Amino acid sequence: MVKSAVLGYPRIGTNRSVKKAVESYWAGKSTAEQLQEVAKNVRKERWESIKNAGVDTVPSGDFTLYDHLLDHSFNFGVIPERYVAQNLTPLDTYFAMGRGRQDRSKGIDVVASEMGKFFDSNYHVVKVDHSPSTEFKLNQNQQLAEYEEAKALGITTRPVLFGPITYLSLVRKANNAPAEFQPLDLLDKLIPVYSELLKQLKAAGVEEVQIDEPILVVDKAETQGDLFKKVYEALAPVAPKITITTAYGRVGKSIEFLKDLPVYGLHLDLDREPKQLDEVVAAIKPTKLHLELGVVSGRNIWKNDLKASKDLAEKAIAELGADRVTVSSSSSLLHTPISIKVETKLTPQQLSWLSFATEKCEEVAALAGALNGKESELFEQNTKDIAARREFERTSDSAVRDRVAGITEEQLKRKSPFAARREAQKKHLNLPKFPTTTIGSFPQTKEIRVARAKFGKGEITQEEYEKAMEKEVQSVVEFQEKTGLDLLVHGEPERNDMVQYFGEQLNGFIFTQLGWVQSYGSRYVRPPIVVSDVSRPSPMTVRWSAYAQSLTQKPMKGMLTGPVTILNWSFPRADISKEVQSKQLALALRDEVVDLANAGIKAIQVDEPAIREGLPLRKADWDNYLTWAVDSFRLSTSGVEDDIQVHSHFCYSDFGDIFPSIQRLDADVISIEASKADLKLLDVFKSYGYSNEIGPGVYDIHSPRVPSAQEIKDRIAAMAKVLPADLLIVNPDCGLKTRGWKETEESLSNLVEAARWARETY
Ligand code: GLN
Ligand code: ZN
C-alpha cells in the first residue's frame, strides 16, 4: 500500500488567530495562559484538518508561536546570556530572542537575534547566536508534548524536527566567536541532546519521526557525507524510524552517501526537481530505504496535476514496490495559505486553479488512493480542472507573448555608455555634488492608513481618497524643500505595498482576501498570484509623480518596483518559466518608465531589493538566474534617453559573490543598505572599479534613533576614503514608511547638513 503524508502545515491559525493572540499578549492585553489556550486550539484545528483530508501521516511538533528554528534553539537550552540577564519568564525570554525587548522603565533593553531567509522561500528564520561555549540541554521536548497532545485527541502523528546538521548550518555564529569557529563545530555536543529527545519519543511509543535536513539541497552538503553518517549512525539505533526530508531542491551527488544511511526513509522534492527521481530510485533500489515522493508543492498555490504525479509515482513503485513508497508534499505547507474555501471574491474559474494547504492535503490523500486503485471523485474533478487550466493558459495574451519573443539586444541597452549619460544627466538634473535624496517612502501615518481603510470599505469615494493622498504628497514635497533635499520623491502614500500596488494595476494578477502566509514571527503577507500573461492596461504611477513634480522646481524621482522583485514576492505561474514572467513584467515597467520620462520626470528609481535573495540555492543555477534577472532590469530601464537618470535600490547589500551582475545592471545610481555594516562592503565596489554613482545608506532606518550630523559626516568621510567622492550620493538605508515624522525630520535635516559639509570639504 502506498501511504500519504505532508511535511508540515501553516502555523498561523484560521483568521490569523496566532498573530492576534501573540500580539495581544505582547501588548499586555492577555495572559500567557490565554495565549497557550489559543495555541492549543490551533494545533487541534491543524491536526484535524490534515486528518480529515485523509492524509495517513500527520505531522506534529511543527507548530510555533514565532519561528520553528527559534523553537529548536530554545528547546535545546541555547539562550544567549543577554537574554538570560533580563530575568524574564521563559515565554518572554523566547519572544525576546525572536523580536528583542525594550522596556526602559524596567531597565530591559535587549536586541533580537538575527533573522535570515529560509532557503529560497520568503519565510525567515530566527538565527540564535552560537559560540564555542554554547552548551545544549533538553530544555523541553516539544515534539513529545505535541505528540501526546494529538494522541489525546485520538490522532497518531509523526513528530517533526530539524536534523542536527541543518540546525547548526542555519543558526548564527556569535560576533565574539573566534574567526575559525563555525556552529557545525558543536555537532558532537549536540548529538547527545538529539539522542535524548528521540529516546523519549521512542519510549512514548512514537513509531516514526520526520527529520528535516533541507541543507542537503545545497552544494556544501555533498562534501558532508561523513557528518551525516556520524549523526545518523548515532541516532538511528535509539530513535523511532527516521525519515530524512530534503525540501527546496535536489539532493544531487549527496545521494551517494544518503543511500547508505541507517534510516528508514528519504524524502525528495519532486515538485522543484522531478528529474532527480530516476537517479535516486536507481541508487536506493538495492537498499531497504523507503522513498517519500514530495510531488504536491509546498511552495506554490496551484492545483496539483494529479495524473502527472501519479505517473511519476508509478515509476518509483515499479522499481521499489508500493510498500516502499509514500506520496507527500514537497516541503512543509507553511508557505501556502490555509484554504481556498474562505475566498469569496475569486471566481469559480479562478478557484478551480488553486490549492492551498487544506486542499493540498486532500490532493496527497487522493493521489495515494488512486495509486492504491481507488480513484476518487476528487481525482476525476482534478483531471478536468487541470485540462481547463491548460486551455486557459493556451488562450492567454498573444500580444504579450509576441513582444517577449521579439526582445532584442538593443532593448537591453541604454543609448550611450555611463560616462556620456552622466554628462547629459548633469545638465538635465543640475544636482550639486553629494546630492541628497531618499529611497522613496515617507512615514505612512495613521491618517494615510485610515483613509485607505475607508476607501477599501467604500466609506469614501475614489476622488476623496486621491485628494487625501495628494495632500500627503504636498506635505512631503514641502517638507523636502524646506529641509533642503536635492532630488525629491513623492513619498508613496498611495501604495499599500510595493508589490501589491503594481500587481493590482497590471493585467495577469489575482488577489486573495485571506490568503495569508507567514513571512516571519507575527508578520504575514498576502502575495499576489500571477495567473496569466502580464501587461499594463494604463500608466500606473505617472499621475502621482507628475503631480508631485508640478509642486516643485526641484527634480522629482519616479518610483517603481522592479520586475524581479514583483515576481519574487508573488506566487509565480508554474506553466511558464520565471524568466518569461519576469520579462513580461519588465516590458510593462519599460512602458511606465518611458511614460514617466515623457511626463517630465528626470530621475526614475526601479527598486530591486529581491534580486539578491532570489539567487538559486545551487551555484550551478546562478548564471542562468542572474542573466535573466539583470536582463529584466535592463529591459525595464533602457527605453529612455541618456539624460534620464536611472536609479536602483537594494536592501541587503552583500554583493561579494554577485558583484559583476550588479555592475551589469548599469543603473546610473544605486543606493544600498550600508549603515549597519562596517564599510567593508564597499571594498568590493572599489576592487571592481565600480564607476557609476552610488549611495551607501548613511543611517539605519529600522530604528527610531536619530543620527547626529557629525555621525553622518563621519560616515561620508569614511565612504570617501573608499570610493571617489564625485560618485557619492547621500541617502538613508531604505524607505521611511515605518518611521515616525519627528525622527524623520531630525534625521534628514542632519543628513542635509552633513552633505553640505561634504560639498565644502571635498
Ligand atoms: N521605494 C521603496 C520604499 O522606499 C523601497 C522599499 C524597499 O527597498 N524595500 O519604501
Ligand atoms: Zn530597501
In whole angstroms, give the CA distance from residue 616 to residue 608: 16
Q: Which pairs from 620-627 meet CB under 8 Å and 24+ separation?
A: 620/219, 622/658, 626/658, 626/661
Q: Ligand 1 centroid vs 288 CA: distance in angstroms? A: 52
The predicted structure's pLDDT at residue 591: 98
Question: How many other C-beta atoms lie within 10 A of the C-beta of residue 26?
Answer: 15
Q: What does the angle CA 38 – CA 10 – CA 609 come to, to the nearest 5 degrees?
A: 120
In whole angstroms, give the CA distance from residue 57 to residue 47: 10
Q: For residue 453, what are the contacts with CB-CB under 8 A and spacing of at least 6? A: none
**Ligand 1 near 439 CB (within 6 A):** yes
Instruction: Identify the three-state secondary structure at position 575.
Output: coil
In whole angstroms, give the CA distance from residue 136 to residue 195: 12
Question: Can you read off the three cell numbers belonging to residue 658?
Answer: 554577485
In whole angstroms, give the CA distance from residue 374 to residue 372: 6
Q: Which of 310, 320, 301, 290 is nearest to 364 (CA)?
A: 310
CA distances from 304 to 266, 316, 344, 512 (A): 22, 18, 22, 19
**Angle separating helix axes 68-75 and 90-99, nearest 10 degrees:** 130
Which among 442, 498, 500, 545 is the best mutation to test ligand 1's pocket, defined by most ligand atoms within 8 Å of the CB?
Answer: 498
Question: Can you read off the three cell numbers belonging to residue 639?
Answer: 527605453
**Any alpha helices (H) in 9-124, and if so which ranges?**
17-26, 32-52, 68-75, 81-84, 90-99
Nearest atom within ligand 1 for CA of residue 440: 4
Whole-model pTM? 0.95
Q: Is the CB of residue 83 less than 8 Å from the CB of residue 73?
A: no
Question: Can you read off the three cell numbers belonging to residue 183?
Answer: 556552529
DSSP 586-616: HHHHHHHHHHHHHTT--EEEEE-TTTTTT--
Q: Is the CB of residue 709 less than 8 Å from the CB of residue 754?
A: yes
**Ligand 1 near 273 CB (within 6 A):** no
Q: Is the CB of residue 162 less than 8 Å from the CB of residue 100?
A: no
Tell me the β-bridge partners of 558.
604
The predicted structure's pLDDT at residue 107: 85
- Using a 10 angstrom Cβ sphere, with 0-12 exposed, 13-18 middle and 19 or more buried, the burial of residue 405 is exposed
Closest listed ligand to the CA of 651: 2
**Ligand 1 near 733 CB (within 6 A):** no
Annotated binding site: 19, 122, 439-441, 492, 569, 607, 649, 651, 673, 734
Question: Can you read off the three cell numbers belonging to residue 177?
Answer: 566567536
The predicted structure's pLDDT at residue 613: 86
The predicted structure's pLDDT at residue 47: 98
Closest listed ligand to the CA of 499: 1
Q: For residue 538, what are the contacts with CB-CB under 8 A and spacing of at least 6? A: 505
Q: Is the CB of residue 142 less than 8 Å from the CB of residue 90?
A: no
Q: Ligand 1 centroid vs 498 CA: distance in angstroms? A: 7
In whole angstroms, give the CA distance from residue 689 to residue 632: 24
Query: Computed from CA positions of residues 147, 149, 153, 154, in that sequence, does the dihedral angle turn out positive or negative?
Result: positive
In whole angstroms, give the CA distance from residue 74 to residue 90: 9
Run means of pLDDT, 10 residues per run, the chain, 762 residues? 98 97 97 98 98 98 98 98 95 96 86 91 96 97 98 98 98 95 98 98 98 98 98 98 98 98 98 97 98 98 98 98 98 98 96 98 98 93 96 89 97 98 97 98 94 94 96 98 98 95 97 96 96 97 98 98 98 96 98 98 96 92 97 98 97 83 96 82 90 94 91 96 96 94 97 98 95
> Of all residues in the chain, what percent are helix, strand and coil, respectively (each to 5)?
50, 15, 35
Q: What is the CA radius of gyration of the chain?
A: 27
Which among 444, 673, 734, 736 is the best mutation to test ligand 1's pocket, defined by most ligand atoms within 8 Å of the CB?
Answer: 734
Q: Ligand 2 centroid vs 447 CA: distance in angstroms? A: 23
Rounded to the nearest angstrom, the gap between the alpha carbon of residue 82 and the centroid of all alpha carbons in its chain is 28
Q: Is 649 left (phi over 0), alpha (psi -120 to 50) or beta?
A: beta
**Ligand 1 near 649 CB (within 6 A):** yes
- Backbone dihedral angles phi then psi of residue 412, each to the nearest 5 degrees: -90, 0
Question: Can you read off the three cell numbers belonging to residue 62?
Answer: 511543527
**Ligand 1 near 735 CB (within 6 A):** yes
Looking at residue 488, what DSSP letter applies?
Answer: B
In whole angstroms, give the CA distance from residue 565 to residue 546: 24
In whole angstroms, give the CA distance from residue 193 to residue 627: 45
- Relative to beta strand 523-525, strand 517-520 is antiparallel
Nearest CA to ligand 1 atom 5: 735
Query: Computed from CA positions of residues 456, 460, 463, 469, in that sequence, does the dihedral angle turn out positive or negative?
Result: negative
In whole angstroms, give the CA distance from residue 265 to residue 242: 6
Question: Is position 702 annotated as part of the catalytic site?
Answer: yes
The predicted structure's pLDDT at residue 655: 84
Q: Which of 760, 761, 753, 762 is nearest to 710 (CA)?
A: 753
Q: For residue 129, what are the contacts with CB-CB under 8 A and spacing of at least 6? A: 80, 113, 171, 172, 173, 174, 175
Rounded to the nearest angstrom, the gap between the alpha carbon of residue 578 and the centroid of all alpha carbons in its chain is 16
Annotated binding site for 5-methyltetrahydropteroyltri-L-glutamate: 19, 122, 569
In whole angstroms, give the CA distance from residue 537 to residue 160: 47
